[in-house]
C-alpha cells in the first residue's frame, strides 16, 4: 500500500470506525480542589503560555495529524487557519512522505502559510531514523514548515500491528541524541497513544531531547486503527493482534506524572484529552501545554467554524477551571493541590510515585 493511500485510510478509519481505547486516560481519577473564595476575577485569568519561543493564547496545540495528500492539505488548511485565529499551536503529521516525494511538500507547507504566527511543530518518525535518516532529513522537515520544534514520533505498537510495519527500534536513543545536538530547533519525543514511561523519559532526557509529547493511552488507539485496516484487507493475524493489543499502553495521566518526574523539559500532555477540564488537570500534573488530535480532526471535517467554536469552548472551560482553583496563570496552575484516587492512584503507588508529593514534583 502506498504511503498516501495509507494516510487516507488512517483518516477514514479514525473518523468512521471505533478507534477509542477502552481504558480511560486516568483524568477521571484526578480532582482539582475547588476554591469557594478564589480571590481573583475570572477576567484576570491569563491562559497564555510560551513554548519553544512562541507565545500561545492558551496552553493548547492541535496534535500531529496529517499531510501528504490533497485531502490532507485541505484538512491542514482548516486546522492551520483556526490555530492562527485562536492563537494555539499546531503539529503537522509525519513528513516522511514529503521528504521522499518533495512534490507533496505543499500539503504540509500550507500549515505555515496559513499560520505564520503560531507555534508549528514538524514531525518525523523513529522508524525512519532506524532506516538511516538523520540530520539532513530532519532539517528538511524543519525547513519545510519553518518549524519551531521537531517532534520525533515513537509508534512501536502501531508498527508491530501494521501490515509490513517497521519494527526496528534498536539503537535509537543514541541516534536521537546526535539529532538533538545538531538540529537548530528543539527535538521533542512524541508517542502516538501508548504513553512514555519514567525510564524512557530519563534515557531520552539524558540523550539531550528538549521535551516530550505524552500521547498516552485513553484516546485514539493505533492498534485499533491498524486492526480495522487489517480487517478491511483480509489479514486475519494482524486483525487479531490489533484487537488483542487495542488497550496497550500507559494511561495518559500516569504517563504525565512519570515523565514530569523524569524530566525538567517541556511537556505536552496528549492522548484522550477531550475537555478544558482535562487541559487544566494536565497543567496541574506538570504539563506545559495540552494537545488534542482526533476531536479536532472531526471538527475540521465539519469546517472552520465548527473547529474554531470547539477550540474556543475548550479554552473557555480551561480558563474557568483555573479561576475555580484560584490560579491567575499557567505557572500558578502547576502549584495547585491535586487529589489522585482509584486506578491512577494504584498505578502511581505500584510504580513508587508518591502522590502526596505531586504538588512539588518537577516544579
Ligand atoms: C488520523 C490521525 C493521524 C495521525 N497521524 C500522526 C502522525 O503522522 N504523526 C504523529 O506523531 N502522530 C499522529 N497521530 C497521533 C496524534 O497526534 C495523537 O498522538 C493521538 O491521536 C492521541 O491523541 P487523541 O486521543 O487526541 O487523538 C495521528 C492521529 C490521528 C487521529
DSSP states of 268-322: EE-SS--SHHHHHHHHHTT-SEEEE-HHHHHHHHH-HHHHHHHHHHHHHHHHHHH
Sign (positive/negative) of CA torsion 123, 126, 127, 130? Answer: positive
pLDDT of residue 358: 67
* Ligand 1 atom 7, closest CA: 93
Dist. CA 310 → ligand 1 center (Å): 18
Residue whose Cα lies nearest atom 22 of ligand 1: it is: 271
C-alpha–C-alpha distance, residues 263 and 266, integer Å: 8
Which segments in the chain show pLDDT lower than 70? 356-363
Per-residue cell: 288:
506545559
Residues with CB under 6 A from ligand 1: 10-11, 14, 63-66, 93-94, 123, 151, 153, 190, 192-193, 215, 219-220, 270-273, 292-294, 297
Three-class secondary structure of residue 194 per DSSP: coil
Hunting for cell 477550540 — which residue is that? 311
CB-count exposure of residue 270 (10 Å: 0-12, 13-18, 19+)? buried
Contact 277, 313 (CB under 8 A): no
- Strands 49-51 and 54-56: what pairing? antiparallel
Alpha-carbon span 97 to 72, nearest angstrom: 12
* Measured CA angle at 12 (ends 9, 15), to 5 deg: 145
Q: What is the pTM of this model?
A: 0.97
In this structure, the strands spanning 89-91 and 187-191 are: unpaired
**Ligand 1, atom 17: closest residue by C-alpha:** 64
The pLDDT assigned to 2 comes to: 84
| 89-91 and 60-62 strand pairing | parallel
Residue-wise pLDDT for 274-328, tens only, equals 999 999 999 999 999 999 999 999 999 999 999 999 999 999 999 999 999 999 9
Report the DSSP beta bridge partners of residue 90. 62, 120
Comparing C-alpha atoms, which of 139, 145, 153 is closest to residue 271? Answer: 153
Q: Which atom of ligand 1 is nearest to the CA of 191?
A: 19
- Check residue 3 and give its pLDDT: 85
Which helix (H) or strand (E) segment holds residue 122: the answer is: strand 120-125
For the chain, list the domains and their CATH numbers: 3-360 (3.20.20.70)
* Location of C-alpha cell 492558551: 58
What pLDDT does 184 receive?
A: 97
What pLDDT score does 362 carry? Answer: 47
Terminal Cα distance for the chain, rounded:
46
How close is the Cα of 96 to the center of ligand 1, in Å?
Answer: 15
Q: Which of 65, 162, 296, 300 to mutate to test the pocket of ligand 1 (most atoms within 8 A of CB)?
A: 65
- What does residue 75 show for φ and ψ, rounded to 5 degrees? -65, -45
- Ligand 1 atom closest to Cα of 213? 19
Q: What is the CB neighbour count within 10 angstroms for residue 229?
A: 23
Q: Are strands 211-213 and 60-62 parallel, antiparallel or unpaired?
A: unpaired
Amino acid at each position: 500500500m502506498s504511503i498516501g493511500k495509507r494516510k487516507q485510510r488512517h483518516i477514514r478509519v479514525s473518523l468512521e470506525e471505533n478507534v477509542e481505547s477502552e481504558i480511560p486516560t486516568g483524568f477521571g481519577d484526578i480532582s482539582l480542589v475547588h476554591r469557594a473564595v478564589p480571590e481573583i476575577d475570572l477576567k484576570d485569568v491569563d491562559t497564555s503560555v510560551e513554548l519553544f519561543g512562541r507565545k500561545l493564547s492558551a496552553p493548547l496545540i492541535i496534535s500531529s495529524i496529517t499531510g501528504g495528500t490533497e485531502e490532507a492539505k485541505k484538512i491542514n488548511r482548516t486546522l492551520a487557519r483556526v490555530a492562527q485565529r485562536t492563537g494555539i499551536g499546531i503539529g503537522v503529521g509525519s513528513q516522511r512522505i514529503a521528504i521522499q516525494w518533495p512534490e507533496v511538500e505543499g500539503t504540509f507547507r500550507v500549515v505555515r502559510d496559513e499560520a505564520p504566527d503560531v507555534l508549528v511543530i514538524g514531525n518525523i518518525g523513529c522508524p525512519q531514523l532506524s532506516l538511516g535518516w538523520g540530520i539532513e532529513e530532519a532539517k528538511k522537515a524543519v525547513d519545510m514548515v519553518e518549524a519551531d520544534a521537531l517532534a520525533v514520533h515513537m509508534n512501536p505498537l502501531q508498527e508491530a500491528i501494521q501490515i509490513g510495519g517497521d519494527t526496528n527500534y534498536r539503537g535509537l536513543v543514541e541516534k536521537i541524541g546526535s539529532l538533538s545536538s545538531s538540529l537548530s530547533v528543539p527535538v521533542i519525543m512524541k508517542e502516538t497513544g501508548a504513553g512514555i514511561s519514567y525510564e524512557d523519559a530519563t534515557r531520552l532526557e539524558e540523550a539531550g531531547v528538549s521535551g516530550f509529547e505524552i500521547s498516552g493511552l485513553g484516546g485514539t488507539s493505533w492498534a485499533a486503527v491498524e486492526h480495522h485496516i487489517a480487517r478491511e484487507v483480509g489479514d486475519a493475524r494482524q486483525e487479531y493482534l490489533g484487537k488483542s493489543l487495542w488497550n496497550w499502553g500507559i494511561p495518559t495521566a500516569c504517563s504525565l506524572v512519570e515523565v514530569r518526574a523524569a524530566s525538567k523539559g517541556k511537556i505536552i500532555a496528549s492522548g484522550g484529552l477531550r475537555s478544558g477540564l482535562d487541559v487544566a488537570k494536565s497543567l496541574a500534573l506538570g504539563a506545559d501545554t495540552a494537545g488534542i488530535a482526533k476531536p479536532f480532526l472531526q471538527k475540521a471535517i465539519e469546517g472552520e467554524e465548527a473547529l474554531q467554536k470547539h477550540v474556543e469552548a475548550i479554552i473557555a472551560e480551561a480558563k474557568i477551571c483555573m479561576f475555580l482553583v484560584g490560579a491567575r496563570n499557567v505557572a500558578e496552575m502547576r502549584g495547585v493541590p491535586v487529589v489522585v484516587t482509584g486506578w491512577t492512584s494504584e498505578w502511581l503507588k505500584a510504580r513508587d510515585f508518591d502522590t502526596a508529593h505531586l504538588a512539588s514534583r518537577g516544579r
